[in-house]
């Protein structure tokens, strides 16, 4: 019974020394997740954190739940097998931009379309950290790194756009340092039935410091951040300079001064059956400045989960055919007997 569980943040900490670089954004995310977990009312033994490879993927070692630190890119596949065979568990995947979008891109998109009951935390720092500073699939075009001294040549992925295109039922974005917002998004993801993808902008202070400074700096962030809330107008800006998002006749979105927009400011609908508004919102930011960046829940719709459908098929089969009898199966219908 959840109400009888009196767990605290401390219950979710392990005795392992946390081995991220001092100042890494991962610390803030870890603290937020550990602080959030007791509110779930789920016993520690029924929670599993699965990760791949990369800085973020050390996360399970620091959560006092069941944990599996696997191999590069494969966490969504491994977690799919776990969640599909154990629908009773709360399964969380921790991954990074390289792990999820480069080597593990295939598993990510298929987990999303299947709607397995997984909560995927994608720490996006737009750089490879553990391998010491190569560009990642979310790095901006022309990024100068150790492996791209003349600038990177490949256009980046937008993880939210990608997830929406992969039939995801829940897609959100948040920021490592905004604990309150991060917690609210975790809450919404936990309540969602099926795969939830949360992109967390996370600062790598060693190899890509300040990548999200516009979105984190208290003095300027309001000018660049759109806080999406279901049922609320999509608006942002500093007190003296507010903007609203409106849809143009050609269906594209446009940022206009709020007073000018009037009633035509779009109302956010995270539960819209089609993801077109969510997708359009994901395309708003200028790739170079990341302004304006919507954070919050882009999409949250209901679709049967893979693990439940799989369990239902087993139950149906048992109901229709009876629980399987091994001797009957082995004998089959086409036998002969030697006496």
Applying CB under 8 A, which of residues 28, 84, 122, 196 lies at the interface with another protein? 84
Among 1, 251, 288, 326, binds another protein (CB under 8 A): 326
Q: Give the Cα separation of 106 and 102 in Å (integer).
A: 9
Return the DSSP state at 137.
T
Residues 6+ apart with CB under 8 A from 332: none
67 touches another protein (CB under 8 A): yes
Q: What is the 3-state secondary structure (H, E, C) of 27-56?
A: HHHHHHHHHHHHHHCCCHHHEEEEECCCCH
In this chain, which of 14, 102, 131, 193 binds another protein, going by CB under 8 A?
14
Q: Which stretch binds another protein (CB under 8 A): 152-160, 212-220, 290-298, 316-324?
A: 316-324
Is the CB of 91 or the CB of 182 nearer to another protein?
Answer: 91
Using the rule CB under 8 A, is 88 a contact of another protein?
Answer: yes
Of the candidate residues 34, 56, 80, 203, the single one contacting another protein (CB under 8 A): 80
On whether the CB atoms of residues 142 and 151 are closer than 8 A, the answer is yes
Structure tokens, 332: 């089959």
Q: Which strand (E) or helix (H) includes residue 68?
A: strand 66-69
Is 202 a residue that touches another protein (CB under 8 A)?
no
Q: Is 205 exposed, middle or buried (0-12, 13-18, 19+ CB in 10 A)?
A: middle
Judged by CB under 8 A, the residue of 29, 55, 63, 281 near another protein is 63
**DSSP alpha helix (H) spans, 46-99:** 75-85, 97-98
Q: Is 13 in the site for another protein (CB under 8 A)?
A: no
Residues in region 284-313 near another protein by CB under 8 A: 310, 313
Q: Should residue 131 be labelled a site residue for another protein when binding is judged by CB under 8 A?
A: no
110 binds another protein (CB under 8 A): yes
Q: Is 323 in the site for another protein (CB under 8 A)?
A: yes
Contact residues for 326 (Cβ-Cβ < 8 A; gap 6+): none
Q: Does residue 10 touch another protein according to CB under 8 A? A: no
Binding footprint of another protein on the chain (CB under 8 A): 14, 16, 43-51, 60-61, 63-72, 74, 77-86, 88-89, 106-107, 110, 310, 313-314, 316-318, 320-324, 326-327, 329-332, 334-339
């Amino acid at each position: 019974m959840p109400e009888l569980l009196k767990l605290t943040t401390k219950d979710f900490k392990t005795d392992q020394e946390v081995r991220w670089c001092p100042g890494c954004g991962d610390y803030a995310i870890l603290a937020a997740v550990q602080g959030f977990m007791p509110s779930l009312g789920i016993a520690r033994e029924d929670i599993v954190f699965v990760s791949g490879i990369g800085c973020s993927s050390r996360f399970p070692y620091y959560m006092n739940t069941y944990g599996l630190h696997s191999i590069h890119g494969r966490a969504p596949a491994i977690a799919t097998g776990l969640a599909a065979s154990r629908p009773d568990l709360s399964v969380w995947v921790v991954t990074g931009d390289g792990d999820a979008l480069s080597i593990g891109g295939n598993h990510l998109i298929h987990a999303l379309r299947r709607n397995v009951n997984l909560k995927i935390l994608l720490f996006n720092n737009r750089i490879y950290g553990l391998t010491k500073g190569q560009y990642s699939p979310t790095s901006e075009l022309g990024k100068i790194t150790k492996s791209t001294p003349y600038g990177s040549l490949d256009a980046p992925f937008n993880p939210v756009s990608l997830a929406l295109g992969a039939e995801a039922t829940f897609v959100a974005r948040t920021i490592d340092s905004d604990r309150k917002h991060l917690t609210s998004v975790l809450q919404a993801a936990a309540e969602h039935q099926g795969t939830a993808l949360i992109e967390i902008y996370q600062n790598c202070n060693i190899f890509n410091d300040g990548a999200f400074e516009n979105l984190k700096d208290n003095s300027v962030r309001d000018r660049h951040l759109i806080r999406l809330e279901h049922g609320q107008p999509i608006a942002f800006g500093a007190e003296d300079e507010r903007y609203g998002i409106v849809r143009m006749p050609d269906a594209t979105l446009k940022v206009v001064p709020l007073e000018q927009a009037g009633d035509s400011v779009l109302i956010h609908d995270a539960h819209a059956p089609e993801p077109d508004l969510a997708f359009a919102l994901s395309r708003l930011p200028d790739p170079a400045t990341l302004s304006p960046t919507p954070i919050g829940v882009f999409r949250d719709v209901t679709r049967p989960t893979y693990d439940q459908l799989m369990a239902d098929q087993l139950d149906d089969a048992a109901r229709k055919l009876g629980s399987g009898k091994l001797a009957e199966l082995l004998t089959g219908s086409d036998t002969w007997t030697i006496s």
